Chain A
Amino acid sequence: MKTGVSKGISEIKFGLLSPDEIRRMSAVKVITPDTYDDDGYPIEKGLMDPAMGVIEPGLKCKTCGGKVDQCPGHFGNIELAMPVLHIGFIKEIYSILGSTCSNCGRIKLTEDRIKEYKKKIEEVKNKLHEIDYDDIVSDAESEAGDVVICPHCHFENKKISLDKPTTFREEGKKLTPKEIRERFEKIPNDDLILMGLDPAVARPEWMILTVFPVPPVNVRPTITLETGERSEDDLTHKLVDVIRINQRLRENRDQGSPQLIIEDLWDLLQYHITTYFDNQTPGTPPARHRSGRSLKTLVQRLKGKEGRFRSNLSGKRVNFSARTVISPEPFLSINQVGVPVKAARELTVTETVTENNTERMKEMIGRGPGNEDSAVYYPGVNYVYRKDGSRIKVSDKNSKDVADKIEVGWQVERQLQDGDIVLFNRQPSLHRMSMMAHEVKVLPFRTFRFNLAVCTPYNADFDGDEMNLHVLQSQEARAEAEILMKVQENFLSPRFGGPIMGAIHDHITAAFLLTYKNPMIPIDLGIHIMSYIDIKEVPPIVEFEGKKYFAGRDIFSTILPEHVNIEFKGKMNDKILDPEGTEGIVRIEDSKLVNGAIDENAIGQSKGVLLDYVIRKYGNAVGAKFLNDLTRLAAGIISYIGFSTGIDDEDVPHEAKAQLREVGRESVTKVEKLIENYRNGLIGPEPGKTLEDTLESMIMKVLSQAREKSSEIASHYLGMENSTVIMARSGARANMMNLAQMAGIIGQQSIRGQRQHRGYTNRTLPHFKKDDIGAYARGFVTSSYKEGLNPTEYFFHATGGREGLVDTAVRTSRSGYMQRRLINALEDLKVSEEKRVLDTENSVIQLVYGEDGTDPSRSYAGESIDVEFLVKETFKKKYGGGKK
């Protein structure tokens, strides 16, 4: 490949286009407001004059003779009948008008002051940042703006005001652009530096247009629809308006029409030119298309998220990428991604033919591009490049010939095969784990698939989410991705220095079912479950009443790496839940689970102690294998044992219902009692609170106690034989409070942490008496989800729910913008080999990265070293670690 000569940019200077320059660079003087004639040929001197460049292939440019890809396009020009203000310089025109004398054109400062300012400017001249210069200019202009009598010619200047967007008035009298231009022409070059202008490239009168540049046709191409209909670009539409009005203005002026008509046309020309530059100028109605859509003119092309900068320069479309819907596949490793055959046949990796791979390449090329329907997938070849770079498309017909022809040094665009490294990404890409490297596994059907443990880092679910895939093209990229971006290398999140991936939902339920109270698994079932994983050794068989069983915990132990010795507290570590201590304390001795139930605290994402231990002690590869085995085993367990839940899981006996109802009633009466006491003046204010606040907090306390009590009752009657309770206790999903809300009392609905109190005059809803501040009138819900809510309860519940929705909507937009600002501020900082954080000028931001030089994704919960772990591992049993 050819590499160009790279040149550094040392300086950028902005200037104004002078009328002369506009005429000089113009290839044609545009005078006709039309584009094409009836035969479809561009009209001479029209807006599509071929002198302004070519957009149709085959034609040649009238100016430079280049074809479509050679001609850069050429500007045209329009001679304006009357001068018009440039909307982009209104602010500058205003301040220059204000600071110069309307009689002599000098800046309204004494010679001494001018000298002082010039000296100051000289001082800051060679500084890198020009902010100081801008400050001096604005100081000078504001000082000159306040002067009435010109120090040079002693003329009494009038006050000038700006009628937005484009009308200047001098004590009420309108200043025409022509008059402004005449004044600006009088300003001497020497004064311009005080107004922030460099006379070499910018004269102030150039801010008022007398000649209008017409951009090349390349900038505003005609789009031809399939029907053959032509559609012009928005800019062309606007230019048509400009030319049309310009012509009418010229005619009227030459005919000597009444001043009023000329002024109206002049204003109209000003409007068209203003909207040509910026169609969202405040105070100007946006120019619209016939359909009512507002036109996208120059500023709109550049500005904002869809503008040229953010959409086309900071972000680009790429090749070798694919996007489709995602779905789960528990039999894939966490490092893999399932790629549909259809995508795999399109996506390619370029390989160079060498002496060592010629045979393999020939075989692949011989297969041709393949088709989607073949039963087994073998990678084919789509294109072959000869040594000179010319391309051969491989088809079923020529595949054998091409295969025979290839020589060492040819490039082969080979289809994706199992084991290729690709990048996989889900938007919004909020953190580094949003884009990770996976190994390809080509699969049938049309979705990308991956292991469920990888949902967490991508924040993905399968309700229609789509994800992107990028195929890496160079050996270096593949190596780098594999070392830095592979899923297993991102186990530990830099956010909290712990595993971000782990077992979720059914994985936890399954592991819990397998280990809670160490169930006896019949031998056939056990063998089936273990067939999902590779086991080195069959666990011991237990005989009971003549039948053979495996112990559930022994089955779990088969997926543990060697020499695991750890003891930690599980979620069941509670005297009431686990009186004998056989479930809550998880103890693993020499890779054998001897005590405890495996739950969220052991293998869950971000808090799984066992998972964390395995990853840290044995490394990412073993950690990945552990999680792979775990998810496979879980799939086996839960699909063979079976697990289900329904609303009748929240059925509670009659006595429980009575108790729950009593709790609701009791708390309502308690609240009434409190209110009565308050009305009788029996309640004193708590420190720092008004009497009303005190009452409110007392009521809140009573009502939250009600919910707690109902939760207690519900958990008393709902035992571990209940599916929902299993999920809640193991940490797979939901918690006991959710169950209590289904079975017992939903409880107080709050807005901003307070009881509901807004709505009608002195009451929340017309269903209540005025000034009723009792439990029901302020959003206490005594029904359960299962029974259903009454209308007022339903309303209060909806208000509470709405608050949540609004909060998330507000939070996402706000945090998105905050993150954008952070990224833009930090994007080009780098960490040097000495662990220093430097910016692009090599200035120090931090002497040592994070002040301790620790990579948070290699840290132990943010600490550089896990001292406790080291002590235990070093001194073993003596200090609470495992044996040996």
Chain B
Amino acid sequence: MSKFNILYHEMVPEHILVPAEEEEEVLKALNLSKNQLPKIRKSDPVIKSLEKITGDIEPGRIIKIVRKSRTSGIATIYRMVIGE
């Protein structure tokens, strides 16, 4: 049990688990298939921390990441969770 939560660190952008029922909507808006999305490992420290809040995140779920961008101010991207 660590007291430190990396999600609160200022260098870690905001990670949001996209609800399973909204996934289709998101992909439709992006006009992409799930497998085209960039990946993030289930073993990624951010996913591990996120799992403490949301419960187990299965591979195949989509994570929305909102981060600061030098060119556009705020950039929103999506990643698909993969195993390990």
Contact = CB atoms under 8 A, between A and B. Distances in A.
Interface of A: 834, 838, 842-848, 850-852, 854, 862, 864
Interface in B1-46: 30-32, 35-38
B71 A844 contact: no
Contact of B32 (A844, A846, A851, A862): A844
Contact of B71 (A838, A843, A854): A854
B72 A851 contact: yes
Given A834-B31, A850-B71, A851-B71, A843 B77 contact: no
Nearest to A839: B36
B69 interface: yes
Contact of B36 (A844, A850, A852): A844
A842 B36 contact: yes
B78 to A, nearest CB: 7
Given A834-B31, A851-B69, A852-B69, A844 B75 contact: no
B75 A851 contact: yes
A845 B37 CA distance: 8
A846 B30 CA distance: 12
Interface of B: 30-32, 35-38, 69, 71-72, 75-78
A843 B75 contact: no
Question: What 3 pairs between A and B have smallest CB-CB spacing?
Answer: A852-B72, A852-B71, A851-B75
A826 to B, nearest CB: 15
A862 B71 CA distance: 8
A670 to B, nearest CB: 46
B31 A843 contact: no
A843 B72 contact: no
B30 A847 contact: yes
A124 to B, nearest CB: 12
Contact of A844 (B38, B69, B72): B38
Nearest to B30: A847
Helix, strand, loop or mixed for chain B's interface?
A: mixed
Contacts of B30: 847
A864 B69 CA distance: 14
A133 to B, nearest CB: 16
B72 A847 contact: no
Nearest to B39: A843
Contacts of A851: 69, 71-72, 75
A328 B32 CA distance: 52
Which among A842, A844, A846 has the greatest number of chain B C-beta atoms within 10 A? Answer: A844
Contacts of A843: 35-38
Contacts of B36: 838, 842-844
Contacts of A862: 71
Contacts of A834: 31
22 contacts: A834-B31, A842-B36, A843-B37, A843-B38, A844-B32, A844-B36, A844-B37, A845-B38, A846-B77, A847-B30, A847-B75, A847-B76, A847-B77, A847-B78, A848-B72, A848-B75, A850-B71, A851-B71, A852-B69, A852-B71, A862-B71, A864-B71
A846 to B, nearest CB: 8
Contacts of B37: 843-844
Contacts of B76: 847
Contacts of A864: 71
A847 B64 CA distance: 12
A852 B31 CA distance: 18
Nearest to A864: B71
Given A847-B30, A847-B75, 15 more contacts: A838-B36, A842-B36, A843-B35, A843-B36, A844-B36, A844-B37, A846-B77, A847-B76, A848-B72, A851-B71, A852-B69, A852-B72, A854-B71, A862-B71, A864-B71
A851 B69 CA distance: 7
Contacts of A845: 38
A120 B42 CA distance: 20
Which among A842, A850, A851, A854 has the greatest number of chain B C-beta atoms within 10 A? Answer: A851
A844 B36 CA distance: 6
Which among B30, B32, B71 has the greatest number of chain A C-beta atoms within 10 A? Answer: B71
A854 B36 CA distance: 22
Nearest to A842: B36
A723 to B, nearest CB: 44
A556 B30 CA distance: 53
Nearest to B67: A851
Contacts of B71: 850-852, 854, 862, 864
Contacts of A848: 72, 75
Contacts of B31: 834
A852 B30 CA distance: 16
A848 B73 CA distance: 13
A844 B37 CA distance: 5
A845 B36 CA distance: 9
B26 to A, nearest CB: 11
Nearest to B74: A851
A847 B31 CA distance: 11
B9 to A, nearest CB: 21
A725 B30 CA distance: 60
A204 B84 CA distance: 34
B72 to A, nearest CB: 4
A843 B32 CA distance: 9
A7 B31 CA distance: 30
A129 B9 CA distance: 35
Contacts of B78: 847
Contacts of B38: 843-845
Contacts of A854: 71
Nearest to B37: A844
A845 B39 CA distance: 10
Nearest to A834: B31
A412 B75 CA distance: 55
A841 to B, nearest CB: 8
A850 B72 CA distance: 8
Nearest to B70: A851
Nearest to B38: A844
